Amino acid sequence: MTKGDNSSTIEALFDENRRFSPSEEFKAQANVASPAIYEQGGDVESYWRTHASRVTWKTPFTKVLDWSEAPFAKWYVDGKLNITESALDIHAQATPNKVAYYFEGEHGDTKTITYLDLYKEVCKLANALSDLGVRKGDRVAIYMGMVPEFPVALLACARLGAPHSVVFGGFSSDSLRNRINDASAKVLITCDESWRNGGRVALKELADVALSESPSIEHVVVVQRTGAPVNMVEGRDYYYHDLVVNASDERVAEEMDAEDPLFILYTSGTTAKPKGIVHTTGGYAVGVATTHSMVFDIKDGDIYWCTADVGWVTGHSYVVYGPLINGVTSVLYEGVPHFPDKDRYWEIIEKYKITQLYTAPTSIRTFMKWGTEYPSKHDLTSLRVIGTVGEPINPEAWMWYNEFIGNNRCPIVDTWWQTETGHIMISPLPGVTTTKPGSATVPLPGINVDVVDDDGNSVPNGSGGYLIVTQPWPGMARTIFNDPERFKDVYWSKFSKPEENKWVYFAGDGAKRDLDGYIWLLGRVDDVMNVSGHRISTLEVESALVDHQAVAEAAVVGRNDATTGQAIAAFVTLKGGVQGDDKLIAELRDHVATKIGKIARPASIVFTDELPKTRSGKIMRRLLRDISEQRQLGDVTTLANEDVVHEIAARAKASQSANSAE
Ligand code: PRX
């Protein structure tokens, strides 16, 4: 490993030498098989001009990009469109009987929705919302479970030109209220309840609590999912089925400027107040359609499945808009991977003969923990491309995914992007790019990124630093709702040089660029530790831990240490059947020292049955930091499993006196 100096580059300490090239067989059928595409992407405007034809325009644009008011971009200037015409109308006309969604309920109920069905359903709801007073520009909040009406709700808003603001159905009343109020939403669309892990989530009841302090809401539309009796306020609340029953199934799509907002999606930052990320219409539509088609090698006849909840950006872009614009058939699954048993995903893949699976590393690590007997019970040979998103995937999880799900045959697309970027930015092209386990590889054509040091200078290959995006891209966030200054400040101030008219987007992630120029994401920069002047990524230590045969999952945080600045505190979940003891702690510490270097050896290791996670599956390192520093726990309301943190805190206290911090 490299010796520490005081420069602020992040030291990238891991070496991964395995390589996986697309097979000749895959290349022969791939949508994109020639590396020449990267050259085409070199001329950003010309590249994105070409791909604009994936979308139906009511009025053609006059200019691809206007960057004169940077960092506030305008894409497809003067272009007019309604995104639902690309997503629905053209398919409802050309292939009305093609399936848009196979819905699979958690309890096994199913529904098949064709493009014509979806078109009609969206028009009906758009008409109903219009009758409730929703007009172009009004915000509509959506708080739902994964039912077919969820995509319908987004699309109905888009049909009217009313920006939707989806709040994930796992969030609390408080979160919902704050988001409704920030956006001054006029209507809320929700469900009576949703099914989750065999139980019920009382969405309407939670919404009622929020609504008592959300004065902007004039009406509430309630989808009946479980049929539970819920409180309905006369004149304010209506059942979805009552509203649509007599509504017309035709609705002219509102004409939108390419730069009219399509949606707001809130995301947390470093302050308590969530940021309402604003996406507009034209650039977003082109961006999601292009990336979806290329990254997943989408073909007519494919059955594509993205397991993300529509409540997150992955659901917006790759369950709803991207797949529908590309006219593909998707599966929409309501529930969790372990209901009724731990093979539910594999059963669904076999049942529908899924061709593309797009899921999260956290799920893959969970599947690893459960064991290979679950996937091996099912025929997964229909799969062609498998993808991941949301966090770095450690090489061991990548290899497991490759072997046990992809059958050593399917290219893996590790896709890096963010709520703010709107669509995938860094990812292999499955028919072109040689992959390396754990690397998102290289930026997509038409996307330009760099890795820079603290002064914004590009680092040489083989070094680490901060990931930045150096040129605008079509799906980029346009602003933070009602707060353009914050937008500028959070994303565009760190490395931009306005005096030179140089605008650079700072993603907040650390990254390493290896000797071949491949990008390795190292986690958020606030998850970077500093041990004895060495900056070490939490992820690299986690990868090293998970690399040990006894470990299923690991989370690492830096805690203050009088001698070393920070010391590394690790929290480890062992594979089923393995017992954690002092001998194993010593072994794991040595394992990390061998894989990365002594400096990365965790000062303490606490075994835990589960890690504290948000409902979207992200590990809450902030809480682990609180535990490690024996502080009062911060906000735990977004945790999926609150009890876990108290249990870990007790264990950490006991073991911190036993472990030594060197
Ligand atoms: O840290 C990166 C991580 O997720 C962050 C964005 O989170 P969010 O806005 O919730 O969007 C998640 C789904 C697009 C990024 O800043 N991240 C996302 N994808 C990857 C990733 N980290 C490493 N590798 C990825 N493939």
pLDDT(118) > 70? yes
pLDDT at position 475 is 98
pLDDT in tens, 574-610: 998 899 999 999 999 999 988 777 778 999 999 998 8
8 Å CB contact between 577 and 592: no
Does the Cβ of 603 fall within 6 Å of ligand 1? no
User: Torsion angle of alpha carbons 454, 458, 464, 465, nearest 10°?
Assistant: 30
Report domain extents, the chain: 3-11+450-524, 24-414, 528-655
CA-nearest residue, atom 5 of ligand 1? 418
Q: At 280, give phi and psi (nearest 5°).
A: -105, -170
CB within 8 Å of 615: residues ≥ 6 apart: 168, 170, 171, 638, 639, 640
Give the nearest ligand 1 atom to 417 CA: 14
Please answer whether residues 51 and 286 qualify as being in contact, where contact means their C-beta atoms are separated by less than 8 angstroms: yes
Assess whether the C-beta atom of 440 lies below 6 angstroms from ligand 1: yes
Pairing of strands 194-196, 199-201: antiparallel
Q: Partners of 267 in the beta sheet?
A: 275
pLDDT digits over 475-511, tens only?
999 999 999 999 999 899 999 999 999 999 998 888 9
User: Is the distance from the beta carbon of residue 389 to the nearest atom of ligand 1 less than 6 Å?
Assistant: yes
Ligand 1 atom at minimal distance to the Cα of residue 267: 9
CA of 164 to the centre of ligand 1 (A): 22
Q: Average pLDDT, whole number, for the chain?
A: 92
Cβ count within 10 A of residue 235: 8
Closest residue by CA, ligand 1 atom 12: 390
pLDDT value of residue 8: 40
Q: How confident is the model at residue 15 (pLDDT cuts 50, 70, 90)?
A: low
Does 415 sit in the ligand 1 pocket, CB within 6 Å?
yes
Query: Is the pLDDT reported for residue 537 higher than 80?
Result: no
Look at 22-36, 296-310, 396-410, 587-601 and tell me which has the smallest mean pLDDT.
Answer: 587-601
286 Cβ below 6 A of ligand 1: no
Give the per-residue pLDDT at 615. 83
Q: For residue 246, what are the β-bridge partners?
A: none
Mutate to test the pocket of ligand 1, among 14, 363, 389 (most ligand atoms within 8 A of CB): 389
Measured from the CB, is residue 214 less than 6 Å from ligand 1? no
pLDDT value for 9: 40
Is the bond preceding residue 395 a cis peptide, omega within 30 degrees? no
Residue 14: per-residue pLDDT = 57
Nearest atom in ligand 1 to 521's CA? 23
Query: What is the token pair recorded at 457?
Result: 């200078």
Q: Which amino acid is at 147?
A: V
Q: What pTM does this model have?
A: 0.85
Q: Ligand 1 pocket check: which of 417, 425, 447 to mutate, most ligand atoms within 8 Å of Cβ?
A: 417
Query: Could you tell me if the CB of 605 is within 6 A of ligand 1?
Result: no
**CA dist., res. 538 & res. 618, Å (int):** 14
What is the rounded distance in angstroms from the CA atom of residue 79 to the CA atom of residue 259?
Answer: 8
Per the CB < 8 A criterion, the answer to whether 184 and 216 are in contact is yes
Q: What is the pLDDT of residue 10?
A: 45
What is the rounded distance in angstroms from the CA atom of residue 552 to the CA atom of residue 29?
36
Query: Ligand 1 in contact with 416 (CB < 6 A)?
Result: yes
- Give the list of residues 6+ apart from residue 142 with CB closer than 8 angstroms, or none: 150, 153, 154, 157, 164, 165, 166, 167, 188, 189, 190
Amino acid letter at 488?
Answer: K
Are 581 and 626 contacting, i.e. CB atoms less than 8 angstroms apart?
Answer: no
Other C-beta atoms closer than 10 Å to the C-beta of 409 total: 15
Ligand 1 atom with minimal separation from the 388 CA: 26
Instruction: Give me ligand 1 centre to Cα 489, in Å.
Output: 20
3-state secondary structure 289-301: HHHHHHHCCCCCC
Q: Is 267 in the pocket of ligand 1 (CB under 6 A)?
A: yes
Structure tokens at 399: 């290899």
What DSSP string describes 324-335? HHTT-EEEEE-S
Q: Is the beta carbon of 424 within 6 A of some atom in ligand 1?
A: no
Residues listed for the chain? 662
Q: Is the CB of residue 330 below 6 angstroms from any atom belonging to ligand 1?
A: no
As a whole number of angstroms, the distance between CA 295 and CA 32 comes to 9
Mean pLDDT of 114-135: 98
**How many alpha carbons fall within 13 Å on the CB side of residue 235?**
0
Q: Which of 187-196, 390-399, 464-473 has the lowest mean pLDDT?
A: 390-399
Does residue 3 carry a pLDDT above 50?
A: no
> Where are the extended beta strands (E) located within 532-589?
534-537, 551-561, 565-574
Q: Using CA atoms, how far apart are residues 278 and 266, in angstroms rounded to an integer?
A: 9
- How confident is the model at residue 5, as a pLDDT? 35
* pLDDT confidence tier of residue 71, bands split at 50, 70 and 90: very high
Q: Which two tokens mark 439?
A: 């690397």
β-sheet bridge partners, residue 22: none
Check if 309 has its Cβ closer than 6 Å to any atom of ligand 1: no
Residue 110 pLDDT > 50, yes or no? yes
Return the closest-CA partner of residue 405 out of 380, 388, 384, 387: 380
Residue 535 alpha carbon to ligand 1 centre in Å: 21
DSSP code per residue over 1-65: -PPP-SS-PPBP-------BPPPHHHHHH-S---THHHHHHHSHHHHHHHHGGGS--SB--SEEE
CATH code matching the domain that covers 24-414, chosen among 2.60.40.10, 3.20.20.150, 3.50.50.60, 3.40.50.12780: 3.40.50.12780
Average pLDDT over residues 380-394: 93
Question: Which ranges in 262-391 belong to alpha helices (H)?
Answer: 282-295, 313-315, 322-325, 344-352, 361-370, 373-376
In the reported structure, the alpha carbon of residue 9 is separated from the centroid of ligand 1 by a whole-number distance in angstroms of 21
CA of residue 558 to ligand 1 center, whole Å: 21
CA distance 142 to 169: 9
* Confidence grade of residue 106 (pLDDT, cut at 50, 70, 90): very high
Across residues 386-410, what is the average pLDDT? 94
Sign, Cα dihedral of 304, 507, 573, 106: negative
Is the model's pLDDT at 467 over the cut of 80? yes
What is the 138 CA–ligand 1 centroid distance (Å)? 29
High-pLDDT (> 90) share of the chain, %: 77
DSSP, collapsed to helix, strand or coil, labels residue 649 as helix
Q: Using the atom order of ligand 1, give the atom closest to the CA of residue 427.
A: 26
3-state secondary structure of 374: helix
**Which tens digit of pLDDT belongs to each residue from 265-292?**
998 654 446 789 999 999 999 999 999 9
Residue 554, strand partner residues: 572
| 199-201/329-333 β-pairing | unpaired
Nearest to residue 364, comparing CAs of 407, 393, 403? Answer: 393
- The amino acid occupying position 564 is T
> Span 3-11+450-524: which CATH code?
2.30.38.10
Residue 440 is given by DSSP the state: -
Q: What is the DSSP track for 460-507? A: PTTEEEEEEE-S--TT---EETT-HHHHHHHHHSSS-BGGGTB--EEE
CATH superfamily, region 528-655: ANL, C-terminal domain (3.30.300.30)
Contact status, residue 464 vs residue 5, Cβ threshold 8 Å: no
The response to whether residue 564 sits with its C-beta less than 6 Å from ligand 1 reads no
Q: Whose CA is nearest to atom 13 of ligand 1?
A: 390
**pLDDT over 50 at 302, yes or no:** yes
User: Cα separations (Å) of 3 from 73, 521, 599?
Assistant: 42, 21, 10
Q: What is the DSSP letter of 54?
A: G
What is the per-residue pLDDT for 528?
66
What pLDDT is attached to residue 209?
94
Q: What is the 3-state secondary structure (H, E, C) of 586-625?
A: HHHHHHHHHHCCHHHCCCEEEECCCCCEECCCCECHHHHH
Q: Which residue CA neighbors atom 23 of ligand 1 most closely?
A: 392
pLDDT of residue 409: 96
Question: Tokens 């708080």 label which residue?
Answer: 143
* Residue 260 CB–ligand 1 contact under 6 Å: no
Give the span between the Cα atoms of 321 and 155, in whole angstroms: 9
Largest Cα–Cα separation, the chain: 72
Ligand 1 center to 419 CA (angstroms): 8
| CB distance 291 to ligand 1 below 6 Å | no
Judge if the beta carbon of residue 351 lies within 6 A of ligand 1: no
Q: What average pLDDT does this structure show over 209-235?
A: 97
User: 39 to each of 46, 288, 423, how far by Cα in Å?
Assistant: 11, 20, 20
Token look-up 């270097």 returns 597
